Amino acid sequence: MSEVQLLAFNDAEQQEKYISDLEISTVKLKDCGKEIIELQKKVIALYEEFRNVQVPTV
């Protein structure tokens, strides 16, 4: 086998593991994205609540 063939050679098991790991990572990334959106909503709600609080004048 030439060097090029060795570099291009993909083991089927290794390829399946890579795909599986990639799918797991994609799911985790989507979950993190959903969590970020929920946290952004909370920050917006808190900011709106803060804006609506009347500051007493001295």
Comparing 8 with 50, the larger pLDDT belongs to 50
Measured CA to CA, the distance from residue 42 to residue 44 in angstroms comes to 5
Q: Would you report the helix, strand and coil content of the chain in percent, each value rounded to 5?
A: 80, 0, 20
Structure confidence by residue, pLDDT tens digits, 33-49: 999 999 999 999 999 99
For the whole model, what pTM was predicted?
Answer: 0.63
> 1 CB contacts (<8 Å, ≥6 apart)?
9
Structure confidence by residue, pLDDT tens digits, 1-17: 677 766 666 677 788 88
pLDDT for 2 equals 73
